């Protein structure tokens, strides 16, 4: 079974497709917008482990308890 990374749906119609690659999903969203004028949405099922770790270390969720102040990715100047 293929690895399902992202699902594209449209609240205005029945579009509901799953993709292995983000690029393919992004292209589908743009094509759908061009064809229908609808704003399709995507849901990411997973990210590569390095991306998840970097997000955790940088504290991208915005909560202080989620940051790793010893990480080179941490920024306290924002």
11 and 36 together in one domain = yes
**63 burial type by CB count under 10 A (0-12 exposed, 13-18 middle, 19+ buried):** exposed
42 and 77 together in one domain = no
Q: Largest Cα–Cα distance of the chain, in whole Å?
A: 48
27 and 12 together in one domain = yes
The pLDDT score that the predictor gives to residue 4 is 79
Reported pTM? 0.60
Task: Please give the tally of structural domains in the chain.
Answer: 2
8 and 27 together in one domain = yes
52 and 20 together in one domain = no
Its domain, for residue 74, covers 47-78
16 and 54 together in one domain = no
Closest CA to 45 of 77, 19, 72, 70: 19
Render each residue's pLDDT in the chain as its tens digit; 78 residues: 457 789 999 999 999 999 998 899 999 999 999 999 999 999 888 777 777 777 777 666 666 676 777 777 766 665
51 and 34 together in one domain = no
């Amino acid at each position: 079974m293929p690895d399902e990374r992202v699902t594209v749906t449209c609240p205005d119609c029945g579009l509901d497709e799953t993709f292995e690659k983000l690029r393919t999903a992004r292209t589908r969203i743009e094509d759908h917008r061009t064809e229908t004028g609808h704003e399709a949405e995507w849901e990411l099922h997973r990210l590569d482990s390095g991306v998840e770790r970097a997000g955790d270390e940088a504290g991208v969720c915005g909560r202080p308890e989620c940051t790793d102040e010893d990480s080179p990715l941490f920024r306290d100047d924002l």
